[in-house]
Amino acid sequence: MSNPPIVRSVTLMDFAQWEPLWEGYNNFYERTVAPEITKMTWSRFFDSYEPVHALVAEREGQLLGLVHYIFHRNTAMIEPVCYLQDLFTAESARGQGIARLLIESVYERAKEARSPRVYWQTHETNLTAMKLYDKIAERSGFIVYRKQN
């Protein structure tokens, strides 16, 4: 039996394994992210002035998943809220509880930061993920609108 996965902060040495997970996430949502955006996103994880953070799930040196989250101000609260922006698990690791472990790790980081809320969004067609989300969070009832400039 293999060792249980661990969740930890991403390190500079993780880039070679993080990037394919990042690309998998982008491919899942059928979006293309320019290399300069990937480079900037990666660099933000290591910039203490940035509110962007990354965790990875790892087992025996192999990255199994990633989660990126951001702390930001909220007009209805004093403490910052936590937006879970990206969550992805390697196809070979699906169904093993990795996504739940990553989300629960963000919950822990948010609690440490005294953030009263963690929230995220997913596409309405992501039914598999929504089965998990419905177990570990509540639907807010809000619908997302956006306009590209």
**Is residue 2 very low, low, confident or very high in pLDDT (cuts 50, 70, 90)?**
confident
Closest CA to 42 of 56, 62, 59: 56
- CA–CA–CA angle 20, 37, 104 (5° rounding): 55
DSSP state, 5?
P
- CA–CA–CA angle 16, 3, 83 (5° rounding): 55
State pTM to two decimals.
Answer: 0.94
User: Tokens representing 10?
Assistant: 């991403």
Q: Return the number of other C-beta atoms located less than 10 Å from residue 103's C-beta.
A: 22
- CA–CA–CA angle 79, 82, 83 (5° rounding): 145
**Is residue 104 very low, low, confident or very high in pLDDT (cuts 50, 70, 90)?**
very high
Q: What architecture is domain 6-136?
A: 3-Layer(aba) Sandwich (3.40)
pLDDT for position 1: 54
What confidence tens digit (pLDDT) does each residue in 92-101 have? 999 999 999 9
What confidence tens digit (pLDDT) does each residue in 105-121 have? 999 999 999 999 999 99
Domain ranges of the chain: 6-136
Q: Using CA atoms in the order 89, 57, 106, 124, what is the torsion angle rounded to 10 degrees?
A: 0
